Amino acid sequence: MLRITIHDEGALWWMQLEGKLAGAWVQHAGEAWRSARIEGKPVEIDLTAVTMVDEAGLELLKAMKQSGARLRTKGVEMNALVGQIGSGSSGKPACGWVRHLFAN
């Protein structure tokens, strides 16, 4: 499950994601982001409560980052994942932990 909360605070637009950015939830998050009226506003994606990211979720985060969105993270694994996106690396995380990020 993924909770998606949109915040439009005048000069800043941000989306808060909580839960698993995986499966069908990736499409819902992508649709919410793409349908937003964010022209000329800074965009921030809050990933501090995301507990899992699958391959499709990783692709969505790459697209968000490439469009100029700031990805806010917390924790070693999410910081490393987002760091890989920003570094221009292949995006394939070491040890294959994208699918299993925080999965317990």
**Residue 56: per-residue pLDDT:** 95
Instruction: Count other C-beta atoms under 10 Å from residue 10's C-beta.
Output: 6
- Distances in Å between the Cα of 5 and the Cα atoms of 16, 30, 53, 95, 98 are 5, 13, 18, 31, 23
Position 103 in a domain: no
β-pairing, 13-21 with 70-72? unpaired
| Cβ–Cβ under 8 Å, residues 46 and 14 | yes
What CATH number does residue 89 fall under?
A: 3.30.750
What tokens does 98 get?
Answer: 């994208």
Number of domains into which the chain is organized: 1
Quick check: is 70 in a domain? yes
pLDDT score recorded for residue 48: 94
What local confidence, expressed as pLDDT, does residue 100 receive?
44
Predicted confidence (pLDDT) per residue in 43-82, tens digit: 999 999 999 999 999 999 999 999 989 999 998 888 888 8
- The pLDDT-based confidence of 99 (bands split at 50, 70, 90) is very low
Full domain range(s) for residue 84: 2-8+18-96
What pTM does this model have? 0.79
For CA atoms 72, 78, 84, 85, the dihedral sign is: negative
Average pLDDT over the chain, rounded to whole?
83
- 28 lies in some domain: yes
